[in-house]
Amino acid sequence: MNDKWREALEQEHRPDVIEQRLRAPSRARNLPDAILGGIDGCVTTFAVVSGAFGAGFSATVALVLGLANLLADGFSMAISNYEAIKAQREHVDGVRNDEHHHIDVVPDGEREEIRQIFQRKGFQGDTLERVVDTICGDREVWVETMLREEHGLQTEGLSPLRSAFVTFSAFVVVGVMPLLPYGLPGLDTTQQFLASLAVAGLMFFLIGMGKSLVYHQPVLTSGLRTLLIGGAAAGLAFLTGHLAQALFGVGM
C-alpha cells in the first residue's frame, strides 16, 4: 500500500473529519442526475444532427432542429425528474406518518421489529437490548431507522428542485456541444457533421471517464462503454434519416 495514500486515508478517518463528513448534507443524487442529463443531452442533439445529415438536410435545418430539441427535451426531462423525486419524497413522508401511527398504536410490536432487525445483524443478549432501548428512546431515530431498515427507503438528499436543475443544466451544457461546429463559418456540411461527431464522441468518453473516477471503475472501460452507447444512438438516428431520404424523398 502506498504510504502517501495510506496517510491520506487515515486523515479522512480522523474523528473530527468523520463527524464533519457525516453532518454534511447528502449530495448523493447530484452526480447521477448530472450523468443522466449529460448523456441524454448529447444523445438527443447528436441524434438530431445525425438524422438531419443522413436525410440530406442543410446545416441551418440541423442547427434549428438541434436547438429546439435541446431546450424542449431538456425541460421535459427536468420536469420528469422533478415529478419523480417529488413522488418519491411524498412516498417517504407517507410511510413515515404510518410508522408514527404504528408506534402510537402498537409500540411493543414496533420495538419487536427493531429487535429482530438488529438481531439479524448479529446483536444478541444485553447488547441487543441496549441497542433497542437506545433507538426506541428517540422517536425520530426510531422512525428513521424503520424507514431505512424495514422499508429500504432513502430519507436524505431528496430535493426535486435541485435534481431538476442539475438535470437540465447538464442536459443543455453537454447537449449543446455537438451543435457548436454548425455555428462555425467556412465549413461545408460534411465537415460540420464530422466535427460534430468528434465533439460528441469526446463528450461521451469524458462523461464515462468522470463517472469512473467517482464510482471507482476502470477509466478506459467506462469511457468506451459510454462512447459506444452514444454512438449506437447516433448511428440509429443517421440510419433512420438516410432511409427516410431514400424511401420518401425527404431532404434538400
In whole angstroms, give the CA distance from residue 199 to residue 184: 13
Helices (H), 106-186: 107-119, 125-136, 139-149, 160-175
Residue that is written with C-alpha cell 430539441 in the block: 69
**What is the 8-class DSSP label of residue 26?**
P
Query: What integer pLDDT is reported at residue 252 of this predicted model?
Result: 47
Count CA atoms closer than 13 A to 162's CA, side-chain side. Answer: 12
Q: Which residue type, as a one-letter code, is found at position 58? A: S
pTM: 0.76
Kindly give the parts of the chain with pLDDT less than 70.
1, 22, 24-29, 213-215, 234, 237, 241-242, 245, 248-252
Residue linked to cell 447528502: 26
- Residue corresponding to grid cell 491520506: 8
Q: Is 53:241 a contact under the CB 8 Å cutoff?
A: yes
Cα of 142 vs its chain's centroid, Å: 30
User: What's the confidence (pLDDT) of residue 250?
Assistant: 53
Query: CA dist 198 to 170, 219, 227, Å?
Result: 19, 19, 11
